[in-house]
Structures are given as structure tokens and as C-alpha cells.
């Protein structure tokens, strides 16, 4: 490789690179220095064309293959909380970002530089601001500014997936369901109508709701319908005239956002329902030949993805996408976030063998 | 009377004095100037002993009668909201404080000065900070500093009562009832326990609750059990582990605060119940001979009082107390607060005839 650009020492193992990346802080909004180092390292690789947009850095081969794979990973993390330094023990790498997703970034950078002669054209996207509001998302902004750079036959999002393949993702819609009442002094409560008491019916419907499990491309997507917030009350001596329940519906990727909204509106018929935010799900795309080959070559389990991730952006761009990365996603953002080093190596080898042998 | 101390022009009618008092702003915490004018006016009356404590001013006769009546009224108001000037139309006096309770104060001041030779000893207490937290309440602070000044056989609180006699008051207790759960990402809600969904049972018990109506001294006290607040939720994508309902129980004066707490704890058995605040009710004291005589002389309706007021302080001091004042209490604090001038005159004449003829 011969690349030695600070943190990106090409002679290091992928897990040592992951460790160095954990020690290189890049909380959302503070990715500039890491993006600059990354850009410098990628620019040293003559087989890559490199572009930078804000703190998103992308690199691609252009060897004229009929197929192109897009790999994407975010370089930002949630803020550290006493875990800003990498630690290694018992075969695990710990520290902020070890799971979400500096280990995945390490795999992406190392392969981008190493695979000078891949068997398929590859676009590598390292983007910022994934852990904050959608409007700042580096992948979204980069794709809007440079649509030709995010196009391909199939996308791999390097988010932690416990080193198995997770296909697609559930969609999510958040609505506010409100019960109305009439204010009165609580000393004469019979003159009013208690909106919090009326919201009993909203909770009743939530408690009675049986969430579905939906088969899409052979994967079983488990749905969820939950109150994630409730607020009501004017003052300690006032019968409240408003109570609002925030409901989050996680829906299988067989439904559109408007299907999901119709379902929620029907469930809460008789109450005011207002959409707060929404994001479509993503089909797993497992029927695509290139995806089938990827899964076969890796020989790993394929499962549905529940959390909403940037695979849905690729879904919107019409590109099948899946997750493949080291680390247990349930440890993402945890203070004891840590990843099995064997998983980092496994994903690195898995991707390398497929991209090299295809 | 011969007293002419600014706003307290003794030659004016009681409703003109009320009007002048409405035009003299005294929101809670800003009663100083009014207290000073009031003190000056009372000190001009040679039949009165006057004391000032903070912005509370009290005056009393001491003619050696076997009985003493305490009259109390607060001089503060809630802040004005476009109604800082008095207005008179269609037989009504409008403006901030017209109901709660500058008209009552006008009656108290005028009678304190005019009744140079009452038929019973009278203590007049004009106090500050009734509309804010209990710890600042001028009557409470004055009674603690000068217990001999608040003692008597019977107390009249001049709060608006629509010119009828309202006896005693309901007690109030506010508790927080909490449901506990277990956090999880809302994309994998089955891994958590949704505390807001658990709070459904709390609302269920509130909705099913049948509030009692309790007879005390012949008055029917209607109770109430109401959620006055609810809160729960961690973030839009998190199954919440806590949901807290603030419940206000208004209880008849046959119960103590600890009776009320026991009742609420029993109602919400299985949930954590924490007391936020509490205030005892007050017995109407209608069995007291002096109170019976007062009611008979006035010849007005006697009804239970629902809202908690400072009669409960007299209750705690062992003094029977009732409300008698002009104005519809449901208009207190309203932006269109206004009092029928005929009620101001009626209460003034009622009190005057009883205190003068006793």
C-alpha cells in the first residue's frame, strides 16, 4: 500500500486502524479533521478518483466494469461519555464509535486503498452527520449535490450488523394524537372535560394493538406501534383541555409512508392525528442477482433490519441496499460500546474476498 | 369619617372605592404602595389599633366585647392582561381585581374606618401574596408572626362568593402516580416495556372513579379526582421507561389530608404514589352560634365552597370560617373579570348591618 498519512497507516491491521480511528474523535459536527486525514490518505491511492463535499469524502475506481457497488459509512459518532479513548481487552475493541461505526470505516478505508484491482467498480463514501437530524445527513447532501456519485447496482451500508447481512429496513412514522377537552378549575372539575382522561382511549387502542410481522423477500419484518411521548396539563389546579400522545409506528418495507399514515389514522379514528416526521422503509432487494451472489459468497445469515438507516436513502434512489458491518447494533451509542475484533476481521475478509474475486 | 388619604376617600361610595382600588395596581409582589396608602388611611381612624407586617396591614377594635370576628381579604391580584383599568357599564365594575378581590377589600376598608362603634370586636386583615405560592402568603406569615392578631371566634374571608355565604372548603392533595417500564430502541420495541402503555391502567382507574358528594354540617361537598398533568417520553425513538400522571384529589372537609392520601394510595395500588402538595379542607363551622346568627341576620343562601382558600388557614388555627364577598368566583382571574355593583353594595350593607346591630 505504501500509504502512511497519519492515522491511516496502511501497514496496520484493520483492527488497529479501527482502534486508531476510535482515538480520533469525530462527534457529529466535528468531523473536519478526520475528513481531511481521510481525504489525504485516499488521494495517495492512484487507482481512486477522490471528491470532497463538506466533510463527506468519496473515492471510486473506474475500470469500466459493467457493475458498480457503492459502499457507504458515516465517520461521525454520538458524543463520548467517558469512553473517548479506545481500549482493547478480551478480544474486544471498546470506546466511542467502536461499534457505530469506526470499525466499519476502518474496513472501508483499508479496502478502498488496498483493492487496487477490484473485480467490480466500487464507490466508497465516507460521510458526516449521520447521528443528527436528517437535514444535515452527509450522504443525503452528497447524493443531492453529486447524484452520479451515489449511483450503482447495489449498495452496502457498513453499519454494525453483527457481521451478518441485514436486508432493507423498516420505515418509521411519528404522529401526534391529541385528545381535546375543556378547561375548568380542578375544584369544580365537573364544569370541564378532562383531556387526559379522554386520552385513556388513545392508550387503550395502543395497548390492544397487535403489531404485525410481515414477510418481504423472505425476511420477517416485525412491526411496532408505540407511544414514545405523552404530555398534557395546564397547571396543578386546572382541568386540562389538551393531551397529546406521540406515537411511533415502525412499519415493514411492504408499506409506503402514506400506507402507514392511513393505518395510523384509522387506528386513532375520532382523534386529531398530525404527522411529526416520517421516513420510508427500504426493500431488502434480495432478489437482485448481484445481491444474491454477495450473500452466497459471504455464506452468512440474512436477517431483516429493524432500525431505520441510510439504506432507505439508497432505496429512495432506486438502489437495493443492505447492511454488513462488525458490531452488535444494540451496543451502538452505549457507554460500554465495544466490538469483537474477530468480527472486524471477518467483515474485512468477507468484503475483500467478494470484491476481489467477483 | 373625615378620612381622605389618596385613594381611600371616605366620602366615596363603596363601589367607587372599589373602582379606585382596581385602578391602583397591586399584582402579587407589587403590593407595597397600596399597603402604604391603606396603612395611612387606617392609622387616621382613632378607634383602630394598626399593625403592619411586610405588606400585610391589620387593624382592630378593642372595646372589650366577649366575641371577636376576624375579617380577612387579600390586596394582591394576578397580573393584568389588558384589563388594568377599571371600567363601569351596565351596572358592572370591570377590570383586574374587580372580582378577586378589590371589591371585597373596598368593603373591608370602608367598614373598618366607618364602624367606629361595632357591636362586636373586629380584626381587619389586609394581606399580600395570596395569588402565589403558599410560602409567601401574607395571612400565613402574619399569623405565624402575630398569632394573637389572627385569633377570634369566627372568621370571614372576603373572597368572592356571589354575595352568598360559602362555608368551609374542600381540601386538596396533589400526587404523582408513576408507571415504570424499561427503555429500548423503538425499532425493537419488544425488547422494552412501554411505561406510557402501562399508564393506561392509571387513566383507567381515573376514568372509572366515581367522585363522592359528602354532607358536612348540612352542606353537600362535591369531590373530584382528576389528572391535571401527564408526562412521559425520552426521545422520539425510545420506548419510555417512565410515565407520571399528576392527580389532584379535591376532598370534602370530613377528611384529613392523611385520610385523603390513604384513599389515593389505595386507588393507585401497584403504582408509585408521591405527594407533591396538600392543603387541608376546612369545616364550615355552621354549628357555631355566632356563625348561625351571622347567617340568619344576612338571610342569604349558604353553600359549600369548592375551591381551596385561606379559610383553611383559619381552620388550622381552630377558628370556624366562611366566605362572604361580592363577585362570581368563576370570573376570578378571567380577562373579562367583572362584578355586579349591586353585589358590592349588598355585601357592604349585609356586613354593616350585622356588625353594627349585633
Q: How confident is the model at residue B5 (pLDDT cuts 50, 70, 90)?
A: low
Q: How far is CA B275 from CA A270, B247, B248, in A?
A: 35, 10, 10
Q: What pLDDT does residue A168 have?
A: 87
What is the C-alpha separation between B199 and B178, in angstroms, rounded?
A: 7
Q: In B159-218, at which residue ranges do the beta strands (DSSP E only) sit?
A: 165-167, 171-180, 184-185, 213-216
B296 touches chain A (CB under 8 A): no
Judging contacts by C-beta atoms under 8 Å, the chain A residues touching residue B185 are 307, 330
pLDDT in tens, B186-212: 888 999 999 999 999 999 999 999 999
Contacts of B54 by beta carbon, 8 Å cutoff, 6+ apart: B128, B138, B141, B142
pLDDT in tens, A276-302: 989 888 888 888 888 888 999 899 899
DSSP SS3 for A12:
coil
CB pairs under 8 A between A and B: 159
Residue B76 annotated as catalytic:
yes
What is the C-alpha separation between B261 and B291, in angstroms, rounded?
A: 31
Instruction: Kindly report the average pLDDT of chain B as a whole number.
Output: 93
Q: What is the DSSP string of B63-109?
A: S--S-EEEEEEE--BPPPSS--S-EEETTEEESTTIIIIIHHHHHHH
Phi, psi of B87 (to 5 degrees): -140, 150
* Helix, strand, coil share (%) of chain B residues, nearest 5: 35, 30, 35
Phi, psi of A216 (to 5 degrees): -135, 120
Burial A171-195 (b: 16+ CB within 10 A, else e): bbbbbbbbbebebbbbbbbeebbbb
Contacts of B200 by beta carbon, 8 Å cutoff, 6+ apart: A200, A203, A204, A206, A207
For chain A, which ranges sit under pLDDT 70? 1-6, 357-358
What is the C-alpha separation between B298 and A273, in angstroms, rounded?
A: 55
Q: What pLDDT does residue A6 have?
A: 67
Phi, psi of B72 (to 5 degrees): -135, 140
pLDDT in tens, B29-84: 999 999 999 999 999 999 999 999 999 999 999 999 999 999 999 999 999 989 99
Whether the per-residue pLDDT at B1 is higher than 50: the answer is no
Residue B9 annotated as catalytic:
no
Judging contacts by C-beta atoms under 8 Å, the chain B residues touching residue A277 are 236
Cell 482493547 locates to: A88
191-230 in A: which are within 8 Å (CB) of B? Answer: 191, 194, 196-197, 199-200, 203-204, 206-207, 211, 222, 224, 226-230
The DSSP code for B51 is E
Amino acid at each position: 500500500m505504501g500509504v502512511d498519512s497519519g492515522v491511516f497507516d496502511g501497514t496496520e491491521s484493520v483492527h488497529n486502524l479501527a482502534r486508531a480511528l476510535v482515538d480520533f474523535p469525530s462527534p457529529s459536527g466535528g468531523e473536519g479533521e478526520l475528513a481531511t486525514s481521510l481525504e489525504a490518505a485516499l488521494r495517495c491511492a492512484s487507482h481512486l478518483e477522490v471528491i470532497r463535499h463538506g466533510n463527506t469524502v468519496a473515492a471510486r475506481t473506474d475500470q469500466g466494469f459493467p457493475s458498480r457497488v457503492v459502499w457507504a459509512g458515516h465517520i461521525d459518532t454520538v458524543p463520548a461519555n467517558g469512553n473517548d479513548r479506545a481500549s482493547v481487552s478480551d478480544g474486544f475493541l471498546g470506546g466511542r464509535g467502536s461499534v457505530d461505526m469506526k470499525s466499519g470505516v476502518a474496513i472501508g478505508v483499508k479496502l478502498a486503498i488496498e483493492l487496487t484491482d477490484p473485480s467490480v467498480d466500487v464507490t466508497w463514501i465516507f460521510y458526516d452527520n449521520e447521528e443528527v437530524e436528517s437535514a444535515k445527513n452527509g450522504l443525503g447532501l452528497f447524493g443531492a449535490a453529486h447524484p452520479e456519485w451515489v449511483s450503482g447496482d447495489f449498495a452496502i451500508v457498513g453499519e454494525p450488523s453483527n457481521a451478518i447481512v441485514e436486508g432493507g429496513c423498516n420505515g418509521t412514522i411519528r404522529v401526534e394524537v391529541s385528545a381535546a377537552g375543556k378547561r375548568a378549575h380542578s375544584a369544580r372539575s365537573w364544569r370541564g372535560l378532562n383531556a387526559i382522561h379522554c386520552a385513556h382511549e388513545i392508550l387503550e387502542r395502543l395497548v390492544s394493538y397487535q403489531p404485525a410481522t410481515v414477510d418481504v423477500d423472505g425476511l420477517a419484518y416485525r412491526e411496532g406501534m408505540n407511544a414514545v411521548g405523552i404530555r398534557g396539563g395546564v397547571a396543578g389546579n386546572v382541568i386540562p383541555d389538551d393531551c397529546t400522545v406521540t406515537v411511533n409506528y415502525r412499519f415493514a418495507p411492504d408499506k409506503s409512508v402514506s400506507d402507514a399514515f392511513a393505518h395510523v389514522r384509522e387506528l386513532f379514528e375520532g382523534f386529531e392525528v398530525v404527522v411529526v416526521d416520517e421516513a420510508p422503509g427500504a426493500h431488502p432487494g434480495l432478489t437482485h442477482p448481484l445481491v444474491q451472489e454477495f450473500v452466497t459468497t459471504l455464506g452468512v445469515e440474512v436477517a431483516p433490519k429493524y432500525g431505520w438507516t441510510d439504506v432507505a436513502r439508497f432505496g429512495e434512489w432506486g438502489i437495493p441496499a443492505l447492511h454488513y458491518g462488525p458490531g452488535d447494533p444494540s451496543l451502538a451509542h452505549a457507554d460500554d460500546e465495544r466490538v469483537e475484533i474477530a468480527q472486524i476481521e471477518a467483515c474485512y475478509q468477507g468484503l475483500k474476498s467478494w470484491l476481489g474475486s467477483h
